[in-house]
Amino acid sequence: MSVAEKIEAAPAPRIAILGAGVAGICMGIKLKQAGFNDFTIYEKAGEIGGTWRENTYPGCSCDVPLHMYQFSFAMEPDWEKKYVRSTDLKTYLERVVDEFGLRPHLSLNTEIDEARFDERAGLWRLKSGDREFEANVFVAGSGQLHHPLYPNIPGREDFKGESWHSAKWNHDYDLAGKHIGVIGTGASAIQFVPEIARTAGKVSMFQRSAAWVLPRPQREFAGWEKALYRVMPPLMKLQRWKVYWQGELLWLTFHKGAEKIKEAAIEAMKEHVTDPEKQAKLTPDYEPGCKRVLFSDEWWPAMARDNVDVITEPVERITENGIRLKDGSEITLDAIVYGTGFDTTHFLGPMKVTGLGGRDLKEAWHDGAQAHYGMGVSGFPNFYMLYGPNTNLGHNSIIFMIECQANYITRLVEKLQEDDLVYLDVKAEAQKRYNDRVQADNENSVFASGCTSWYKTESGRVTNNWANYTFRYWWETRHPDFAEYNSRARLDAGGRNVETGKPASIAAAE
Ligand SMILES: Cc1cc2nc3c(=O)[nH]c(=O)nc-3n(C[C@H](O)[C@H](O)[C@H](O)COP(=O)(O)OP(=O)(O)OC[C@H]3O[C@@H](n4cnc5c(N)ncnc54)[C@H](O)[C@@H]3O)c2cc1C
């Protein structure tokens, strides 16, 4: 039988995708393009979009130029600006879902609470409340920045005013004339503080560490540019390449040209902020890149405003009326906004995942999450993650990484069908070899240069970031190396391995 005939004859795997963000959508499209139609995207919310649906705070936008922050296979010519808002990206993703016919594959309002690999049947069994689903392959695209993190400050419940997290923006609250406290000065705060400072009476920012903020060269596309992109789509690809290599250059700059980043950021600050005390507070004490370098044209003018205060005295507790500082002073506030980011190191959120021999994924990760190329975990057959451990970037677009992963996983699904396998399971030694290298890369990188960041666990292990050029990731994930995988042949009707005649669990233990 030829390979093509074998593929034709073998049953097509059923695939469950978790999450309808950029990752889940990309996975669905890649599967469809490879001819797999038996898949469902389970999404806990009532709409698609992930990050770009959840984050609606004023000023929320993407800081990667849009030619690099859209799918390489679905580039559009009519964007208004170089850096786009979250709402524009949400609308783009809705269009992509329609264009690629993903709507019938969506199961919205379906939060997966539990996933268990049934060894006998060779299937993943997923639970959502009292509903159950099964699939041969389970791909989780639950995002690294999805579960809002609140600061561990006593008294949060005591505050009598309004309070909310930046990812759950309270659009009903009228900021006009109010005194707003902002806790956290990371990527989200950099975007919403300039917006709210225009309306609020006063903004007090409680800052633990300052951010390196570079100018963001925002601009509108001229009509002729859009027309050119429309008639000559390869020009969009060319632009994408340019932005891609600029991103890769940033990685080099973190290590070889950090002084240049510092100079540019300080110059941008001094152009607007003239008060030396404020300048000192807003100057970071760590290397650029250790935490994400941020891009904004509005941050420094906002910091120069008289109604914006930067408070570096540590917070002692939240009180009924505001915030008490370690020096005993209390600041009365009308509302508190938590710009404190996300729980990033507990991948997959509260979902329980059980693999071969009843192995619990959270236990397997007791030292910190890890996965082979951020996707597979040994002992969890046919289970893959998108934007999983060590695949976040500080210098380029996450969409690039997600496309590499969706291609790789599609190839693994094809292999299942070609060889009529029950499952593929990455070998423990392959995962270890890979992870040792990734950890060594991280230890030698700017991420380990001495700051606290969302890239690391409490013990200081970098579980979130890819510490290398992204073309290396692309190169290594172009094709899976099947020698790095264990596999099991299909089972007969009695749950026996068709090759050995033994029950699946015995075969797996061997
Ligand atoms: C404010 C903000 C700005 C950002 N800016 C940039 C940027 O400029 N450049 C960049 O490259 N990246 C940026 N990121 C990172 C961004 O998250 C990724 O680029 C990308 O959106 C990740 O897509 P995803 O599909 O992996 O995850 P998400 O977009 O988080 O989507 C995950 C989806 O899974 C669903 N889900 C989660 N758990 C379950 C469950 N148990 N059952 C069912 N559904 C579930 C969620 O509801 C969600 O829809 C930003 C993130 C944030 C929060």
- DSSP assignment of 255-318 equals HH-HHHHHHHHHHHHHHH---HHHHHHTS-SS-TTSS--EE-SSHHHHHTSTTEEEE-SPEEEE
List the residue whose alpha carbon is closest to atom 34 of ligand 1. 19
List the residue whose alpha carbon is closest to atom 6 of ligand 1. 62
Place of tokens 């159950």: 132
Per-residue tokens: 30: 């890649």
Whether 13-147+343-509 shares its CATH topology with 156-338 is answered: yes
For residues 393 and 344, is the Cβ–Cβ distance under 8 A? no
- In angstroms, what is the span from residue 388 Cα to ligand 1's centroid? 11
Q: Please give the model's pTM, rounded to 2 decimal places.
A: 0.94
CATH of domain 156-338: 3.50.50.60
User: Can you give the pLDDT at residue 504?
Assistant: 46
Helical spans, DSSP H, in 159-286: 187-197, 223-231, 234-256, 258-272, 276-281
Is the minimum distance from the CB of 45 to ligand 1 under 6 angstroms? yes
Give the separation between CA 144 and CA 387, rounded to whole angstroms: 7
Is the minimum distance from the CB of 243 to ligand 1 under 6 angstroms? no
Per-residue tokens: 387: 């934007």
151, 228, 429, 454 from 341: Cα distances, Å: 9, 39, 34, 8
- In angstroms, what is the span from residue 62 Cα to ligand 1's centroid? 12
Pocket test for ligand 1, best of 71, 124, 343, 398 (most atoms within 8 A of CB): 398
Helical (H) or strand (E) element with 205: strand 202-206
List the residue whose alpha carbon is closest to atom 19 of ligand 1. 398
- In angstroms, what is the span from residue 182 Cα to ligand 1's centroid? 23
- Sorted by where each begins, the domain ranges of the chain are 13-147+343-509, 156-338
Is the minimum distance from the CB of 349 to ligand 1 under 6 angstroms? yes
Pocket test for ligand 1, best of 146, 193, 343, 352 (most atoms within 8 A of CB): 146
List the residue whose alpha carbon is closest to atom 33 of ligand 1. 19
For residues 488 and 381, is the Cβ–Cβ distance under 8 A? yes
Is the minimum distance from the CB of 141 to ligand 1 under 6 angstroms? yes
- Residue 243 identity (one-letter amino acid): V
Give the separation between CA 369 and CA 364, rounded to whole angstroms: 8
282, 420, 426 from 215: Cα distances, Å: 15, 54, 43
CA angle 410, 414, 418 (to 5 degrees): 175
- Other C-beta atoms within 10 Å of 236: how many? 20
User: Can you give the pLDDT at residue 507?
Assistant: 42
List the residue whose alpha carbon is closest to atom 18 of ligand 1. 398
For residues 291 and 211, is the Cβ–Cβ distance under 8 A? yes
The atom of ligand 1 lying closest to the CA of 51 is: 29
Is the minimum distance from the CB of 68 to ligand 1 under 6 angstroms? no
Is the minimum distance from the CB of 111 to ligand 1 under 6 angstroms? yes
DSSP three-state, residue 242: helix
127, 182, 374, 485, 494 from 117: Cα distances, Å: 12, 44, 20, 17, 18
> Can you say whether residue 452 is alpha, beta or left, with left for phi > 0 and alpha for psi between -120 and 50 degrees?
beta
| pLDDT < 50: residue spans in the chain | 503-510
Give the separation between CA 177 and CA 380, rounded to whole angstroms: 54
Is the minimum distance from the CB of 190 to ligand 1 under 6 angstroms? no
Is the minimum distance from the CB of 97 to ligand 1 under 6 angstroms? no
User: Can you give the pLDDT at residue 510?
Assistant: 38
DSSP letters spanning 364-386: HTTT----BTTTB-TTSTTEEES
User: Can you give the pLDDT at residue 506?
Assistant: 39
- In angstroms, what is the span from residue 13 Cα to ligand 1's centroid? 26
User: Can you give the pLDDT at residue 11?
Assistant: 75
Q: What is the dihedral of CA 168, 173, 178, 179, to 10 degrees?
A: -20
pLDDT in tens, 329-362: 999 999 999 999 999 999 999 999 999 999 999 9
Look up the CATH architecture of domain 13-147+343-509: 3-Layer(bba) Sandwich (3.50)
For residues 51 and 145, is the Cβ–Cβ distance under 8 A? yes
Is the minimum distance from the CB of 162 to ligand 1 under 6 angstroms? no
Pocket test for ligand 1, best of 70, 102, 132, 145 (most atoms within 8 A of CB): 145
User: Can you give the pLDDT at residue 226?
Assistant: 97
Pocket test for ligand 1, best of 111, 142, 338, 351 (most atoms within 8 A of CB): 142
User: Can you give the pLDDT at residue 5?
Assistant: 63
Pocket test for ligand 1, best of 51, 251, 353 (most atoms within 8 A of CB): 51
For residues 311 and 206, is the Cβ–Cβ distance under 8 A? yes
User: Can you give the pLDDT at residue 368?
Assistant: 94
Is the minimum distance from the CB of 89 to ligand 1 under 6 angstroms? no
- In angstroms, what is the span from residue 94 Cα to ligand 1's centroid? 15
Across the strands, what pairs with 353? Answer: 115
User: Can you give the pLDDT at residue 339?
Assistant: 97
Give the separation between CA 32 and CA 39, rounded to whole angstroms: 9
List the residue whose alpha carbon is closest to atom 27 of ligand 1. 143
Cα dihedral 335, 340, 341, 344 sign: negative
For residue 156, the number of C-alpha atoms closer than 13 Å in the C-beta half-sphere is 12
- In angstroms, what is the span from residue 24 Cα to ligand 1's centroid? 10
For residues 318 and 154, is the Cβ–Cβ distance under 8 A? yes
> Can you say whether residue 480 is alpha, beta or left, with left for phi > 0 and alpha for psi between -120 and 50 degrees?
beta
User: Can you give the pLDDT at residue 508?
Assistant: 42
- Other C-beta atoms within 10 Å of 245: how many? 12
Across the strands, what pairs with 139? Answer: 17, 384
Pairing of strands 202-206, 213-214: unpaired
DSSP letters spanning 439-476: HHHHHTSGGGSS---TTB-TTS-B-SB--S-HHHHHHH
